[in-house]
Chains A and B, each alone.
Chain A
Amino acid sequence: MLEIKNLKVKLEEEDKQILKGVDLTVEAGKVHAIMGPNGSGKSTLSYVLSGKGGYEVTEGSATLLGEELLGMEAEERAAAGLFLAFQYPVEIPGVGNMTFLRTAVNAQRKARGEEEMSSAEFLKVVREKAKSLKIDAEMLKRPVNVGFSGGEKKRNEILQMAMLEPKMCILDETDSGLDVDAMKLVADGVNALRSEGRGFLVITHYQRLLDHIQPDVVHIMSDGRIIKTGGPELALEVEKNGYADMKEEVA
């Protein structure tokens, strides 16, 4: 599904290398988790994959279903099936949540040469999916993320994911700012989307999200590299001993 090879990335505006050769493959149907301390490059990886400006790829490649992502515009990556659930979803005053969702769904369909969704069909689908995420009609009407609580913003991200039906989902610290109940709701939303044809990359600091979204593979990232890969037990090890031991191990 997603194949990252020797990815090296620096900041565009200063001579600072963030990713120093990342290798990672996420298979269809699998959930991979990346854990790592602050500043290890986890969020940068998610931004570079989704096409945010401000980074320069100096080496390596990242392909989605065999297609090279790194030369594409952000919207082309989205249409190709990549989805990033933001750590900090952006507030967009003046744009209604529903308008935004419909525009996004139809823009992607159009880019893929598919027929646009009719208003009636869209409404039906969005109401159904919103309901399971406990997103009410009022939240759908309000401007995108404006005045939403932390939990509402993250649920809104998962609703977008559910509507856009991406092939590869990256969740960037989706657990940050969530209480236990909200985390469970978000995790249920994600788990409902798990399927054979879809891959997940879950970025997180803490083990607790992984109690709810059970990963198949766990990677530890440190200083711009994946330093260790293993099964779910790796997350428990981090929870117990922290990252320091692992870094020493590698060194």
Chain B
Amino acid sequence: MALPQARQDATEARISSLTLPEGGWAEPARRDALARLRAMGLPTARDEYWKYTRPEALVAPEATVATALDSSEAPLFGSRDRLKIVFQDGVFSPGESDDLSLEGVNVDRLSDAKDIHWAKDLYGTLEARGQDPVARPLATLNTAFASDGMLIHVTGKPSKPINLIYHHTADRSDAILHHVIKVDPGAEVTILENGPAAARFNKCMEVDIADGGTLHHIRAQGRDHDRAAATHIFARLGQESVFKSFTLTMNGRMTRNEVVVEFKGDDAKAHVAGACMGDGAFHHDDTVFVTHDAVNCESRQVFKKVLRNGATGVFQGKILVKKDAQKTDGYQISQSLLLDDDSQFLAKPELEIYADDVACSHGSTSGAIDEDGLFYLRARGLPRGTAEDLLTIAFIAEAVQEVEDISLQEELVERVEGWLARRRG
């Protein structure tokens, strides 16, 4: 079926602004993605899946200007023992990175991996699987045109986390990164991500976790005010595997984070959580799709959004339980704390269940700071601002607590406290 002309034109305009990297094992997957992209076209504001988030800034041929925020804050995760992998406006920077060798993991740069590579079977494969039943064209565009990224093969239990750091300096940088992470049976790793990355950032992460494997993923999206980002995670989970992903977002004019989880083996767990802090020109969209196609798996979606001065938060979350996915335990909660009347939260929680022996629950709420709680704290001597901040931190706690490592929880909460304190002046 031919695409409407306008959509086709917009798609071709974007394609013509990019160059498809040639050669190597990934080229067939890239060409396949390009063909798929041309068939589906880039999203428009008319698409149901983009009802609450306008895709223009994410699909335009050029990135709009976003100046890097000049911050005196110490870098996140900076005091930890970790394997640093640094990207500068979307380009791997070996000079700022650590040596990539670490016991229990093999790390290769996407653009260096010229020969037949383990990632050949995965690159673009999980992304393509994640296109059904809902199209995610920005991820397909990523597969075709990604200019850099890391291929991370976890074979054991590395002694420290891998930290992907995304620096942003150029005002119009337009970065497309694609990572592939393969976790072997019984292997376990923590991946940390932080930084604004670019004026516009398109990132795709394909994650394949084998039986008994564990991946902890903790991400903090940078604070630059005008940046735009579209990110995708496609995770496939083997038997008794664990995938835990948490994202903290502060500021950002336009962010769309999509997470697609597929349970392939029985008895696995996937927890996807996020907290965002938005002030003013801020739009943040979490779109999550979890498919249960195995027995006795547990999925949790926990999303909290703090919004003020006209900020917008969006949540589209779905749990699909296929007919044989008995004993599924699915949970989904999305909540917003609206600190004034100008901000808004748009939520579309969905359950679609074909199995008959499952426990699934979902809820979505919007509300202001609890006045009774506020008075209680003030009656004990907490100044109004301190009391409000404490209640705000308490509001996001359920999401932050999805991070298993307590010291990481504390570091993330400190960032939020700093953000709140700056707004108190």
Contacts and interface: CB of A to CB of B under 8 A. Distances in A.
Interface of A: 50-53, 73-75, 77-79, 83-84, 86, 89-95, 100, 103-105, 107-108, 111, 143, 160, 164
B358 interface: no
A74 B378 contact: yes
Contact of A84 (B379, B390, B393, B394): B379
A111 B382 CA distance: 9
Given A75-B382, A95-B394, 9 more contacts: A73-B384, A75-B378, A84-B379, A92-B373, A94-B395, A94-B396, A100-B377, A103-B386, A143-B394
Contacts of B384: 73, 75
Contact of A107 (B370, B372, B386, B396): B386
Contacts of A91: 373
B375 A53 contact: yes
B191 interface: no
Contact of A51 (B378, B382, B394): B378
Given A53-B371, A53-B375, A104 B382 contact: yes
Chain A CB within 10 Å, residue with most, of B373, B376, B397: B376
Interface residues on B, range: 20 to 34
Most buried by A among B377, B390, B391: B377
Nearest to B396: A94
Contacts of A89: 376
Interface string B339-377: 000000000000000000000000000000011110111
Contacts of A90: 370, 372-373, 375-376
Given A92-B394, A103-B386, A107-B386, A164 B380 contact: yes
Contact of A79 (B375, B377, B381): B381
B48 to A, nearest CB: 35
B383 interface: yes
B381 A111 contact: yes
Contacts of A160: 380
B166 to A, nearest CB: 30
Interface in B379-417: 379-384, 386-387, 390-391, 393-398
B391 to A, nearest CB: 7
A152 B390 CA distance: 23
Contacts of A77: 379
Contacts of A86: 376, 379
B381 A104 contact: yes
Question: Which of A74, A105, A111 counts the most B-chain CB atoms under 10 A from its CB?
Answer: A74
A105 B396 CA distance: 24
Nearest to A91: B373
A79 to B, nearest CB: 5
Nearest to B380: A104
Contacts of A95: 390-391, 393-394
Contacts of B398: 94
B377 A51 contact: no
A74 B381 CA distance: 7
A51 B394 CA distance: 24
B306 to A, nearest CB: 13
A100 B395 CA distance: 15
B394 A94 contact: yes
A91 B373 CA distance: 7
A108 B383 CA distance: 9
Nearest to B392: A94
A103 B393 contact: no
- Nearest 10 pairs between A and B by C-beta? A94-B394, A94-B397, A78-B381, A108-B381, A74-B378, A90-B376, A104-B380, A107-B381, A75-B378, A95-B394
B389 to A, nearest CB: 10
Contacts of A84: 379
A92 B386 CA distance: 14
A50 B375 CA distance: 9
Contacts of B370: 90
Contacts of B395: 94
Contacts of A92: 373, 376-377, 391, 394
A217 B336 CA distance: 49
Nearest to A54: B371
Interface string B61-100: 0000000000000000000000000000000000000000
Contacts of B383: 73, 75, 107, 111
Contacts of B379: 50-52, 74-75, 77-78, 83-84, 86
A145 to B, nearest CB: 9
B381 A75 contact: yes
Contact of A73 (B376, B378, B390): B378
B375 A52 contact: yes
8 contacts: A73-B378, A75-B382, A83-B379, A84-B379, A92-B377, A94-B394, A100-B377, A104-B381
Contacts of A107: 380-383, 386
Contacts of B373: 90-92
Contacts of B397: 93-94
Contact of A93 (B377, B387, B394): B394
A184 B397 CA distance: 36
A211 B409 CA distance: 48
B410 to A, nearest CB: 12
A51 B382 CA distance: 13
A75 B384 CA distance: 8
Contacts of A78: 378-381
A48 to B, nearest CB: 12
A35 B261 CA distance: 61
Given A90-B373, A92-B376, A103 B394 contact: no
Contacts of B378: 51, 73-75, 78
Contacts of B377: 92, 100, 104
A86 B378 CA distance: 13
Contacts of A75: 378-379, 381-384, 387
A173 to B, nearest CB: 16
